[in-house]
Chains A and B, each alone.
Chain A
Amino acid sequence: SQQGEEDPQALSIQEGENATMNCSYKTSINNLQWYRQNSGRGLVHLILIRSNEREKHSGRLRVTLDTSKKSSSLLITASRAADTASYFCATGEAGTASKLTFGTGTRLQVTL
């Protein structure tokens, strides 16, 4: 799999349900970030979790990081129609200057 590969590729849920997206990566990282992209728009930074952290919360978002499994999950609780977007994980790899490596994204559709 590619660095920063999300699973599932697409997810459709109803408003009020929880949405869980997973991200796997290959190399050693210093941190992992999640971004949201609405169709045809730019990226919005959601949350950054450092390699020495296991869980982080921000509002309705909960991110976990398991460095032993090289994986992360993003949980959106009580989803809303406005959460409809593509979600990308991006890793800051250990030993590299500053570039982020993005996954292919999970397309989330929240219906009323």
Chain B
Amino acid sequence: NAGVMQNPRHLVRRRGQEARLRCSPMKGHSHVYWYRQLPEEGLKFMVYLQKENIIDESGMPKERFSAEFPKEGPSILRIQQVVRGDSAAYFCASSPRQATRGQETQYFGPGTRLLVL
């Protein structure tokens, strides 16, 4: 049973370009969460999605960032017009059911390390 898959593992972009990060949840999991980790810091929640629905995007920056989890295919975190401050590790996690009040364990992928030049 494969774990949470993320690709690419490393992504280099120049300022102003777009970054697309992909996440395939564990088999049987229909809930996806995205977190961002700056160097030497803990993870910060960004967004929680179910298939075709955004449930909680309270951690998403208001501009340039968007996320989707289509009926078919992986979840995508999209960053438009990247800036150097977007450089970070972006982690995806999945759970089989809604992690209501944090009762459900979230399983993390290996992350995508974005570097903006």
**A side interface size, CB within 8 A:** 31
Asked if A93 and B108 sit within 8 Å, CB to CB, the answer is: no
Question: Which of these, B48, B103, B110, contacts A31 with CB under 8 Å?
Answer: B103
Quote the shortest CB–CB distance from A94 to chain B (angstroms): 6
Residue in chain B with minimal CB distance to A103: B42
Considering only residues 50-82 of chain B, those with a C-beta below 8 Å from chain A are 55-56, 58-59
Is B84 in contact with chain A by the CB < 8 A criterion?
Answer: no
* Residues of A with C-beta under 8 A to B41: 104-105
Report the nearest B residue to A47, measured CB to CB.
B105
Which of A12-20, A37-45, A56-64, A70-78 has 4 or more CB atoms under 8 Å from chain B?
A37-45
> What's the least CB distance linking B60 to chain A, in Å?
11
A96 at the interface (CB under 8 A from B): yes
Do residues A92 and B42 form an inter-chain contact, with CB atoms below 8 A?
no
- Check A102/B44 contact, CB under 8 A, given A42-B108, A43-B91, A92-B102: yes
Note all chain B residues with C-beta closer than 8 A to A44: 108
Residues of B within 8 A of A45 (CB): 105-108
Q: Does B100 contact A (CB under 8 A)?
A: yes
- Chain A residues with CB below 8 A from B113, complex form: 40
Q: How far is the CB of A86 from chain B (nearest CB, A)?
A: 9
Contacts of B45 in A (CB 8 A): 99-101
Tell me the minimal C-beta distance from A54 to chain B in angstroms. Answer: 17
Q: Which residues of A contact B (CB under 8 A)?
A: 4, 29-31, 33, 35, 40-45, 48, 50, 88, 90-105
A-B contact pairs, 25 of them (CB 8 A): A30-B102, A31-B101, A31-B102, A31-B103, A41-B110, A42-B109, A43-B108, A45-B105, A45-B107, A45-B108, A48-B105, A50-B103, A90-B43, A92-B99, A92-B103, A97-B56, A97-B100, A98-B31, A98-B33, A98-B95, A98-B101, A98-B102, A100-B45, A100-B106, A102-B35
